[in-house]
Amino acid sequence: MKIACLPGDGIGPEIMDEALRVLIALDMPQVTVDRALVGGAAYHQHGHPLPDATLTLCKEADGILFGAVGDPTCDNLERSLRPEQAILGLRRELGLFANLRPAQCFTGLEHLSGLRPEIAGSIDLLIVRELNGDVYFGEKAMRTTADGRREGYDIMSYAEDEVRRIAHVAFRAAQGRAKEGERGKLCSVDKANVLETSQLWRDVVIETAEDYPDVELTHMYVDNASMQLVREPGQFDTVVTGNLFGDILSDQASMCVGSIGLLASASLGADDTEFGTRGLYEPIHGSAPDIAGKGKANPMAMILSLAMLLRHSLGQEAAAVRIEDAVAKTLADGIRGGDLGGDAGTKAIGDAVLERL
């Protein structure tokens, strides 16, 4: 089983070190790890944020463990050379169209949310974000109009097969999360009152629902969903939405549970490996250049991303649960990073998780 390890920029390498220590501690001789450069780190070394060698390594891997990309020294480069293009390129080149972003409030952390503790404590949801289409990948340009004004545009579009495949992933996820004896719950988020793209999205999600009578489907406009997410987040179980709305709502959900430093994500393609689904696993947070290299970053989201990789791409459910339990126990024991108002550094948190593992 091959893992491609891409630490990336900023805090990426420090938090990746802790995830790899966890992997080593699990003592899985069947797993090999190969490292490669990505993002600004790759640009500075090879002149491109996603060098061919990195892409090839990822194509050959069963799972990709990804740190973070983003480097302020690259802000003035043309868009195609900026670090963010590496993650967008990997999602697109590897056909990773389904992004799973779970958000749940860890016991004992309710008071760290910006929401009231009883509201934060009710959060246990999964955002299923489409990752290969939408305004992210439509035609885009900056141009000058006939009358001399500068104009930027990005075309938003979804084809029905793109919506259908993400809808299937979401319905199955909702089924999997259903409580014993209850129907699954799926809320599709769109802006069908204004956008044609969203009307098609809604029509196709409704058609797909026919295959899943055991899942209750509801629809919500994205502005309302954003409001409901802070008003009564406990109402959501599985949420499915497009690329742009999912980007925004998942950051919002992460802050509702207390810290973006705790949330992992999986980006999956079709079922195509011997072990499960090929996928890329990364924290939801970015490269945090302001604290990079200071040993302050919370590695928990990175460590939890490793757990998701073991579960979804390598079929190692028991190992995934061990990691998740060790992280939950570390938090419950009061060991917290600066993002959670504590003073534990990157290594100290890694040590604490290892001890409990």
Q: Stretches 131-139, 244-252, 290-298, 343-351: which one binds Mg ion (CB under 5 A)?
A: 244-252
Least Cβ distance, residue 330 to ligand IPM (angstroms): 25
Which tokens hold the place of 131?
């990752």
190 binds, among ligand IPM, Mg ion, none (CB under 5 to 8 A by kind): none
Least Cβ distance, residue 87 to ligand IPM (angstroms): 5
Q: Stretches 96-104, 193-201, 205-213, 243-251: which one binds Mg ion (CB under 5 A)?
A: 243-251
Contacts of 161 (CB under 8 A, 6+ apart): none
Q: In what order do the strands lie in the sheet with 2-8?
A: 32-35, 2-8, 63-68, 279-283, 264-268, 98-104, 124-130, 238-241, 184-190, 215-221
Site of interaction with ligand IPM (CB under 6 A): 84, 87-88, 247
Spatial separation of the C-alpha atoms in residues 353 and 317, rounded to whole Å: 18
What are φ and ψ of residue 71, in 5° steps? -150, 110
Least Cβ distance, residue 101 to ligand IPM (angstroms): 8
In the window 191-210, what residues touch Mg ion (CB under 5 A)? none
Comparing every residue's Cβ against ligand IPM, the nearest one is 84
Question: Between 175 and 252, whose beta carbon lies closer to ligand IPM?
Answer: 252
Which tokens hold the place of 251?
């950051």
Does 247 sit near Mg ion (CB under 5 A)?
Answer: yes
Q: What is the set of active-site residues? A: 136, 191, 223, 247, 251
The SS3 assignment for 210 reads: coil
Question: Between 190 and 247, whose beta carbon lies closer to Mg ion?
Answer: 247
Question: Between 9 and 237, whose beta carbon lies closer to ligand IPM?
Answer: 9
Question: Between 31 and 170, whose beta carbon lies closer to ligand IPM?
Answer: 170
Comparing every residue's Cβ against Mg ion, the nearest one is 247
Least Cβ distance, residue 253 to ligand IPM (angstroms): 12
Kindly list the distances between the CA atom of residue 317 and the CA atoms of 105, 228, 284, 285, 310, in Å, as whole numbers in the listed order: 21, 33, 21, 24, 7
What are φ and ψ of residue 58, in 5° steps? -65, -40
In our burial notation (b when 16+ CB lie closer than 10 A, e otherwise), range 48-59 reads bbbbeebbebbe
Least Cβ distance, residue 242 to ligand IPM (angstroms): 12
Does 62 sit near Mg ion (CB under 5 A)?
Answer: no
Q: Is 230 exposed, middle or buried (0-12, 13-18, 19+ CB in 10 A)?
A: middle
Question: Between 285 and 322, whose beta carbon lies closer to ligand IPM?
Answer: 285
Kindly list the distances between the CA atom of residue 94 and the CA atoms of 59, 157, 172, in Å, as whole numbers in the listed order: 7, 20, 22
Does 190 sit near Mg ion (CB under 5 A)?
Answer: no
Contacts with Mg ion, residue ranges (CB under 5 A)? 247
